[in-house]
Structure 1
Amino acid sequence: MQPAFPAHPKRYFVTGIGTDVGKTIASAVLTEALQADYWKPVQAGNLEDSDTHTVRSLVSNSSTVFHPEAYRLQMPASPHTAAAAEGIELSLSEVQLPSTQNHLIVEGAGGVMVPLNNQELVLDLIQKLNLEVVLVSRNYLGSINHTLMAVEVLRSRNIRIAGIIFNGEPNASSEEFILRYTQLTPFPAIGQEERFDQSTISGYAQRYRNYFATHEQ
């Protein structure tokens, strides 16, 4: 059964301050919380164990539809490099939002400034799709700088940031500074877990349902 909130379908583009900061786990939590559809426009590498496979294995609701990627590239590299290795060039005109009346979670590749071709970045894709961003940050040396730069770049394009998810080991000093400086809305944090499975994701999804029930987005 679909959640009664939010009242209108949410369309979030999940991006990160870099690679391997937890976008896929965050996407799984959001997908499960909203019983949303899931879409990864560009998958580069790990085609037999893609991010779509991972999210499918982690969510347990029966409403989510997993939409096929626009591009499936063999090489685990920046999309523009992976595409060039196959003699193709990614075209944003070929990347169209799936048709759905449901909530939709879109997971990007890498960070905001990752190149998709020789001229365009993930940033350009976000702007083309006209989606709100959920920014995933992970605490490490330099993560404040990376987070603030990602926020500045998104805002320079007038892209709305719905909120930020801090993933992994908490760092109160870093997180407090980022929130104070950016004035971003913090979504519930995702901790450093021994493993993520359907039960773990379900627990976080309930926190997010509670959050959405009490916060107007």
Structure 2
Amino acid sequence: MTQENVFFVTGIGTGVGKTIVSAILVEALKADYWKPIQAGRDPDTDAATVKKLISNKNSVIHPSVYELETPASPHQAARIEKVDIALEKIVAQVPQISRTLIVEGAGGIQVPINEDIFITDLIAVLHAKVILVSRNYLGSLNHSLLTADFCKNRQISVAGWVFVGYDSTYENDLVRWTGYPKLASVPDVDDPGNLFVKALADSLSESIKETLC
């Protein structure tokens, strides 16, 4: 598996829409989905949510390596549940596929996985390109710009932004300031279903494929 077909979806924080964005990307690209570390259920795992949201029969939802009950950062959830999260175990279970793989992270880009390893370390060993998810809320410009600067300082390959919620000024400013392109804008809805995901995926598939593939 090469960097060209592995994309890591991360956000500027928690609850910004990574799972719905992942589902849209999976549907648009007919890609596979993998969430290596699941911490908490709300009420389902993110993998179960993506499975319900996609319509195509080609995409495979690969099982998580770690499923933790505690809704917290992976390192904290693992500490509470007395689980040792090992990067080597995750790497050993990377899906070996020829098509595109969408990997969903946990929280933001620098969330700790264990006492010494962070999400950025997982991105590095997967040789993945990052897709940044940003939602417009009070303080999100700062969070978005800090995330982008962090990626640049760490020389992390970023494919672009997916914005949740339509706000052209917000989106255009972030694209201009960071130099990262906009991949898509996704409406902010309370209860998206598979029809919503398919409609968005169908309308965005050509532009997403042109940018990512």
| TM-score for both structures, normalised by structure 2 | 0.92
Distance across 1 between alignment mates of 2:38 and 2:191: 23
Distance across 1 between alignment mates of 2:179 and 2:100: 25
Tell me what 2:74 maps to. 79
Is 1:156 paired with 2:182? no
Distance 1:73 1:213, change over 3 A: closer
Distance across 2 between alignment mates of 1:37 and 1:215: 18
Distance 1:213 1:94, change over 3 A: closer
- What SS does structure 2 have at the residue aligned with 1:119? coil
- Which of the residues 130, 133, 154 maps onto 2:130? 133
Structure 2 residue ranges without an equivalent (≥5): none
Distance across 2 between alignment mates of 1:47 and 1:100: 29
Is 1:172 paired with 2:188? no
Contact 1:35 1:64 (8 Å CA) reproduced: yes
Question: Aligned AA for 1:122?
Answer: I
Structure 1 residue ranges without an equivalent (≥5): 1-7
Contact 1:15 1:23 (8 Å CA) reproduced: yes
Matched residues, number: 209
**Structure 1 residue ranges, 4+ long, deviating more than 6 angstroms after superposition:** none
Tell me what 1:10 maps to. 5
Q: Percent identity?
A: 42
Distance 1:180 1:118, change over 3 A: same
| TM-score for both structures, normalised by structure 1 | 0.91
Contact 2:10 2:104 (8 Å CA) reproduced: yes
- What SS does structure 2 have at the residue aligned with 1:210? helix
- Which of the residues 28, 32, 42 maps onto 2:23? 28
Aligned CA-pair RMSD: 1.7
Question: Aligned AA for 2:195?
Answer: S
The offset of 1:212, in angstroms, is 3.4
